[in-house]
Amino acid sequence: MKFITSDKRVHILDAHSNVWSVIMDIADSGVQEEAFYVCDLGDIVRKHKTWKSFMPRVQPFYAVKCNDSLAVLEVLTALGTGFDCASKAEINKVLALGVNPNRIIFANPAKPSSHIRYACATGVSTMTFDNETELHKVKNLYPDADLVIRIRCDAADAQCPLGMKFGCDPVTEAPRLLEKARELGLNVIGVSFHVGSGCREPAVFEKAIAAARVVFNVGLELGYTFDLLDIGGGFPGDRGTSIDEIAEIVNSALDTYFPSPSVRVIAEPGRFYVSSAYTLTCNIHSVRDVIGDDETTRHKMYYINDGVYGSFNCILYDHQRVVPQPLHELPATKYYSSSIWGPTCDGLDQVVEEVLLPEMQIGDWIVFENMGAYTLPVASPFNGFPVAKVHVVADENIWLLLKDILPLTEEHFVMNRAPTNLKLGFEDVERVAVSKLPIRMHVPGANSEHVLEYVGFLQDGN
Ligand SMILES: *Cc1c(COP(=O)(O)O)cnc(C)c1O
């Protein structure tokens, strides 16, 4: 018997299983009560494939703050992306996976001194700035750093605007800052921006790339030859969204303003990579009927075991709107005006304000898709309600792809039609008999060429 937490294990699904069948198996097991996530690694791999086909010139540096789970970071390390880190701890976490420091950008324009020292000690040389005091700090602590000036260019419509906090004005402030950097003898290598997280105005990328070109030219006049353009984050990642429109605008703006391949182009997508990979399932533990004057129910209040202090913090901080789906189809003869509430005693803890739902009972499950971005890293166990556990799954093809490149051992994997041997995250898990593993596991490299081709990531990092 060996103790392994559920989130360290990857459950391999055969062709008959998928995320929803896994959710049903766990929810209907009779012993599950807590809310839980299912994370599909295949979704992350497919996102990477999409990125590479839509924007082949733009190297993704995943924004770690969006979801810093090891499963995510390990898969992206294997796929060869870079990483956008904002702090010493994030840098440390990524370096611990064996990532080369040159695959990290320290993309926080306002860094504590000790974090700059840490970046210096570990060789993470690329970092952003947008103000003069930061230049003095870097001059003192890491004079050889490769600096990237962050300019401001906001989408008119974004889920989370960032411009009021970071980014200097490309016209009125950038020239002065670059002069200062020159005076201090600092090495500036390029320009970055972030149009706002959850950008709903694709055309802003054209405007921002044009503004970056102007700043490149200012640099040139001051004797700098910039060779890095960082187009930041802002790309959508929910099921049913696409980056095609943004990609078209980015690609054509790059052709117009940065035709030379000597300029390396990177981005810092967060939400794009992880949002749809995570599905959260919550249990109804209380129901309250609000009865109208006519003595009939006019509204139903459902209380579930995850809320805005846990996974649904994204409603407050990330301005998300979440969509509830009953796990099982209900005989819907009648729909009720309903609201969904978290488990804590705070009146603020509301998950869905108003939705039409068929009548649900205590013990029923509600599924929320697209819960991978800006949820888990922020969640707290306030009021004694634990943060939901994650069950990581991958289908066989994805597993074949990942098994050779991930730092995982055989015991990380379970092959099963469904993870019935999941012990649901709170007790010990029996060791999996090796005989249960698919035969291919014992033939290193089998099929790997084919599988590697499937993602087409070979030109990156590794
Ligand atoms: C948060 C953040 C990102 C990620 O943004 P998404 O909208 O999730 O893609 C990228 N870069 C920086 C500097 C950030 O702060």
Cα angle 28, 31, 36 (rounded to 5 degrees) comes to 70
Q: d(Cα 176, Cα 347) in Å, to the nearest integer? A: 49
pLDDT of residue 289: 93
Q: How far does residue 190's CA lie from ligand 1's centre (Å)? A: 18
Task: Exactly one of 66, 153, 199, 345 is catalytic; name it.
Answer: 345
- Position 11 scores a pLDDT of 84
Highest mean pLDDT among 255-269, 282-296, 383-397: 255-269
Q: Tell me the CA–centroid distance for residue 459 and ligand 1, in Å.
A: 24
Cα 344 to Cα 303: distance, rounded to the nearest angstrom? 9
Q: Which residue from 61, 153, 268 has its CB within 8 A of the most atoms of ligand 1, so it is best to mutate?
A: 268
Side chain identity at 462, as an amino acid letter? N
Give the strand pairing for 146-151 and 126-129. parallel
- Token duo for residue 136: 């003095």
Measured in Å, residue 288 CA sits from the centre of ligand 1 at: 39
Contact between 101 and 76 (Cβ < 8 Å): no
Q: Residues with beta carbon inside 6 Å of ligand 1? A: 63, 65-66, 84, 107, 194, 197, 232-235, 268-272
Q: How far apart are CA 76 and CA 46, in angstroms?
A: 11
Q: Is 168 among the catalytic positions?
A: no
Name the average pLDDT for the chain: 87
Atom of ligand 1 nearest to the CA of 374: 8
How do residues 312-326 score in pLDDT, each as one tens digit? 999 998 899 999 999
Tens digit of each residue's pLDDT (9 = 90 or more) over 197-220: 999 999 999 999 999 999 999 999
Q: Is the pLDDT of residue 447 over 70?
A: no
In the prediction, which pLDDT does 1 show? 23
Distance in angstroms (rounded) separating the CA atoms of residues 337 and 168? 47
Specify the pLDDT at position 444. Answer: 32
Which of these, 74, 59, 40, 57, lies nearest to 269 by C-alpha position?
59
Give the pLDDT mean for 417-426. 40
Separation of CA 438 and ligand 1 centre (Å): 39
Q: Out of 362-366, 371-375, 445-449, which region has the weakest mean confidence (pLDDT)?
A: 445-449
Alpha carbon distance 308, 121 (integer Å): 38
Q: Which atom of ligand 1 is nearest to the CA of 128?
A: 13
Residues 6+ away with beta carbon under 8 Å from 283:
27, 32, 33, 34, 35, 304, 305, 363, 364, 365, 366
437 CA to centre of ligand 1 in angstroms: 39
Strands 324-326 and 350-358: unpaired
Model confidence at 440, pLDDT cuts 50, 70, 90, reads very low
Q: What is the C-alpha separation between 129 and 188, in angstroms, rounded?
A: 10
Mutation probe of ligand 1 site: the residue of 59, 65, 230, 272 with most atoms within 8 A of C-beta: 65
Contact 41, 372 (CB under 8 A): no
Q: Which atom of ligand 1 is nearest to the CA of 160?
A: 7
The whole-angstrom separation of Cα 249 and Cα 243 is 10
Per-residue burial over 154-181, b if 16 or more Cβ lie within 10 Å, else e, is: bbeebbbbbbeebbbbbeebbbebbeeb
pLDDT at residue 5, rounded to an integer: 38
The per-residue pLDDT for range 158-193, each reduced to its tens digit, is 999 999 999 999 999 999 999 999 999 999 999 999
**Closest residue by Cα to residue 298 from 286, 307, 289:** 289
